[in-house]
Amino acid sequence: MLKTIKAVYENGLFHPLESISLPDRTEVKLVFLSLEDDLSSWALAKLAEDSPSFAFLADPREDIYTLDDGEPV
């Protein structure tokens, strides 16, 4: 599951700013970006590229388009 939420970091803990439906003690991987950071579009794209967050796109089942769907860009 991939989900983006806002949270506040305080006293060594991340506190979500919205409700999260996960069973207690579920392990998650946090990839965070401080809202104070001013990343360029390139840096944000590089962060996404290096993250495993989009690895599911390598699955052939995700390739739902064919050449019959239109002209290539």
Q: What is the pLDDT of residues 19-31, one digit of tens each?
A: 988 899 999 888 7
| Predicted local confidence at residue 37, as pLDDT | 67
Per the confidence metrics, is the pTM higher than 0.75?
A: no
CB 18 within 8 A of CB 7: no
Confidence check: pLDDT of 36 > 80: no
The contacts of residue 51 (CB under 8 Å, 6+ apart) are 31
Distance (Å, whole) CA 48 – CA 46? 5
Between CA 59 and CA 37 the distance in angstroms is: 32
- Domain boundaries along the sequence of the chain: 7-69
Residues paired with 10 in a beta bridge: 13
